[in-house]
């Protein structure tokens, strides 16, 4: 329960998060903090625009009635909001509040509370993790700005954490924040310790090892010491034994037992660490060193080791307590869990949304759609609505909540009566698709535009047209054929059809301005030795000659004339070129490839079955 005594604010802090742009490397976050965030659909993603510190470091322990305050550093000016969401109960807006109504912050460093009228004191009846989220927006958020505060209730209650109530709260918040293109968040967390203490119990074999925690000597094992919740760096040393070092996490209110078997200095027997990884492309790190991707079998020293397995789009696996004994094998099976994401989409009402070509749903009457369970990574997202210009964007979805706002442009329709189809349409130089026949139309932007009509075999045609919302504009177009043009070349030239697998054929490349019937004739002197006739389209077409005659006989060295005849819509053009056959200079490429391939096969058989 939250109380206010002599204008001193007492509260338990929690969090709601929005995905942020300009991502930076996040601080090391304990798995239990991530689990709490995940339970509330929260993405813990820091950024360079807004950073937050407390009067203690992140992850510190606070006891009831301790004063807490925050320093907020912003790189841009904007509206600052602070939301308190406990694990259960009312969702409270801590800032702005009754005492500080103006939440517009200029770029710079700010202390919250900045007013002498009130202070924040931590309160609660249950030990656990507490998180607080800060939101910076370039425009006010209507949902939060309209929250009501009074002298008796200086901090507005804006929602509840129950499952259904929380969803309602978040949807209201998203409707307020999604249309704003620039918004950022920062977060911090601490441990609330109520009654229960946190302990670390360390024992070793043999006993009597000197224990150092976070650089401070605590005596000799076995030892029970009180510690703050979070990560701690330990060192254990004993005469005649190798020093053990490691990082240990202790949860709030827990007693963590650490049992270490020290390794004698003279003992040189290592152990084996076998790591089975899925997916196989994940990166594996052992004691901070990248050892490769996929499954690993490693020889390591006896003792504790830290194993990290990571891959983009998956939750990172972290284990700092992998024990390997001398002369034995420790097997670790790691199955990475794919990260999933949620996305709030804002557009006009009743817009159809397609994710990677699959219909995902439509925006409602208020223009919002909320999708969950998307795979982290890039997706093709298409927005489609009748009488609006469709848009397709490539969008990277990050773990947690994502926000996308796309406004479609109003459209009219264009229909074309043309002498040729398909006809391709450009509006003010931008491609808008093709029209297959006179009955089909395409959506085009409302207003007056220069429209270009084209077909690859015809001369483009332009005209100015005007389009009105939900109205069809019909126009007639007659396109003229492009002049018949074509070019030819042969490569390689000369070529050597001598069976050595090097330049044994030549290819004729023909580039035409429009479709045509092409006839190719090859002459040796006045005798035609090879013939080919084909229907071609516009663009480049290729035909290969292997140096043989129509009867299948290889032709001798010499110069051969190639004649190309092109017929298109009653127009005929002819071009010739010479191609040279020169079989001299056998390269032995075929023999090299065959012998090399056989040697490779023999080597693989030896490695796999005989070694």
pLDDT of residue 193: 79
Decide: helix, strand or coil at residue 170: helix
| Residue % of the chain over a pLDDT of 70 | 91
The model's pLDDT over 371-401, given as tens digits with 9 standing for 90+, comes to 888 888 899 999 999 999 999 999 998 877 7
Three-class SS of 515-546: CEEEEEEEEECCEEEEEEEEEECCEEEEEEEC
The model's pLDDT over 265-300, given as tens digits with 9 standing for 90+, comes to 766 578 899 999 999 999 999 988 899 999 999 998
CA 105 – CA 121 distance, rounded (Å): 23
pLDDT of residue 608: 77
Global pTM? Answer: 0.60
pLDDT of residue 503: 93
pLDDT of residue 217: 93
List, in order of start, the domains of the chain with CATH numbers: 4-192 (no CATH), 199-261 (2.60.40.1120), 271-335 (2.60.40.1120), 340-405 (2.60.40.1120), 411-477 (2.60.40.1120), 486-581 (2.60.40.4070)
pLDDT of residue 293: 92
Give the number of other Cβ atoms within 10 Å of residue 440's Cβ: 13
* Nearby residues of 39 by Cβ (< 8 Å), 6 or more positions away: none
pLDDT of residue 117: 83
The model's pLDDT over 124-178, given as tens digits with 9 standing for 90+, comes to 777 777 778 889 999 999 889 888 889 888 888 988 877 778 878 887 887 888 7
Give yes or no for a contact between 332 and 274, defined as CB atoms under 8 angstroms apart.
Answer: yes
Give the number of other Cβ atoms within 10 Å of residue 602's Cβ: 11
pLDDT of residue 327: 85
Decide: helix, strand or coil at residue 590: helix
* Nearby residues of 357 by Cβ (< 8 Å), 6 or more positions away: 380, 382
pLDDT of residue 188: 81
The backbone torsions φ and ψ at residue 610, rounded to the nearest 5 degrees and listed phi first, read -110, -25
pLDDT of residue 17: 35
pLDDT of residue 36: 58
pLDDT of residue 245: 84
The CA distances from residue 108 to 71, 81, 102, 104, 118, in Å, are 10, 16, 16, 12, 22
pLDDT of residue 35: 59
Listing DSSP states for 385-427 in one string gives -TTB--EEEEEEEPSEEEEEE-PPPBEEEEEEEESSSSEEEEE
Which ranges of the chain have pLDDT less than 50? 1-27
């Amino acid at each position: 329960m939250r109380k206010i005594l002599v204008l001193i604010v007492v509260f338990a802090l929690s969090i709601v998060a929005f995905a942020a742009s300009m991502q930076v490397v996040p601080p090391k976050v304990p798995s239990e903090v991530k689990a709490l965030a995940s339970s509330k659909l929260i993405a813990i993603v820091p950024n360079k625009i807004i950073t937050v510190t407390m009067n203690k470091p992140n992850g510190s322990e606070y006891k009831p009635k301790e004063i807490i305050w925050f320093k907020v550093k912003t790189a841009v000016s904007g509206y600052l909001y602070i939301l308190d969401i406990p694990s259960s109960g009312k969702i409270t807006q801590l800032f702005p509040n009754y005492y500080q109504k103006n939440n517009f912050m200029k770029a710079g460093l700010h202390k919250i509370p900045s007013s002498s009228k009130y202070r924040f004191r931590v309160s609660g009846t249950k030990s656990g993790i507490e998180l607080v989220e800060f939101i910076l927006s370039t425009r006010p958020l209507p949902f939060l700005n309209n929250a009501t505060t009074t002298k008796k209730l200086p901090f507005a209650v804006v929602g509840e954490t129950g499952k259904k109530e929380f969803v309602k709260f978040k949807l209201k918040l998203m409707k307020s924040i999604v249309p704003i293109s620039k918004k950022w968040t920062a977060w911090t967390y601490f441990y609330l310790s109520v009654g229960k203490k946190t302990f670390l119990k360390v024992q070793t074999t043999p006993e009597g090892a000197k224990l150092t925690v976070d650089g401070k000597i605590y005596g000799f094992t076995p030892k029970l010491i009180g510690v703050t919740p979070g990560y701690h760096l330990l060192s254990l040393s004993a005469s005649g034994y190798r020093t053990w070092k490691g990082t240990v996490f202790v949860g709030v209110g827990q007693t963590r037992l650490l049992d270490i078997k020290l390794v004698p200095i003279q003992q040189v027997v290592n152990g084996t660490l076998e790591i089975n990884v899925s997916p196989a492309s994940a990166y594996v790190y052992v004691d901070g060193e990248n050892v490769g991707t996929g499954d690993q079998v490693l020889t390591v020293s006896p003792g504790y080791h830290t194993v990290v397995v990571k891959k983009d789009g998956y939750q990172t696996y972290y284990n700092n307590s992998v024990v390997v004994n001398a002369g034995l094998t420790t097997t670790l099976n790691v199955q990475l869990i794919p990260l999933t994401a949620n996305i709030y989409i804002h557009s006009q009402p009743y817009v159809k949304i397609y994710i990677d070509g699959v219909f995902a749903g439509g925006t409602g009457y208020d223009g919002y759609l909320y999708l969950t369970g998307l795979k982290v990574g890039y997706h093709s997202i298409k927005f489609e609505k009748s009488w609006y210009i469709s848009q397709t964007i490539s969008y990277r979805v990050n773990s947690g909540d994502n926000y996308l706002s796309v406004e479609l442009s109003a459209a009219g329709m264009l229909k074309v009566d043309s002498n040729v189809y398909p006809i391709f349409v450009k509006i003010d130089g931008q491609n808008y698709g093709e029209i297959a026949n006179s009955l089909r139309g395409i959506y085009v932007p409302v207003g007056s535009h220069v429209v270009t009509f084209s077909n690859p075999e015809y001369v483009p045609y332009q005209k100015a047209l005007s389009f009105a919302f939900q109205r069809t504009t019909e126009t007639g177009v007659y396109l003229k054929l492009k002049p018949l043009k074509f070019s030819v070349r042969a490569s390689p030239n000369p070529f050597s059809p001598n069976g050595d697998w090097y330049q044994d054929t030549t290819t004729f490349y023909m580039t035409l301005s429009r479709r045509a019937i092409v006839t190719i004739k090859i002459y040796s002197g006045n005798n035609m030795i090879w013939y080919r006739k084909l229907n071609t389209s516009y663009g480049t077409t290729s035909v290969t000659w292997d140096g043989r005659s129509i009867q299948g006989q290889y032709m001798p060295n010499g110069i051969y004339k190639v004649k190309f005849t092109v017929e298109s819509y009653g127009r005929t053009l002819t071009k010739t070129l010479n191609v040279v056959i020169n079989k001299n200079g056998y390269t032995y490429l075929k023999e090299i490839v065959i012998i090399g391939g056989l040697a490779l096969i023999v080597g693989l058989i030896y490695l796999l079955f005989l070694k």
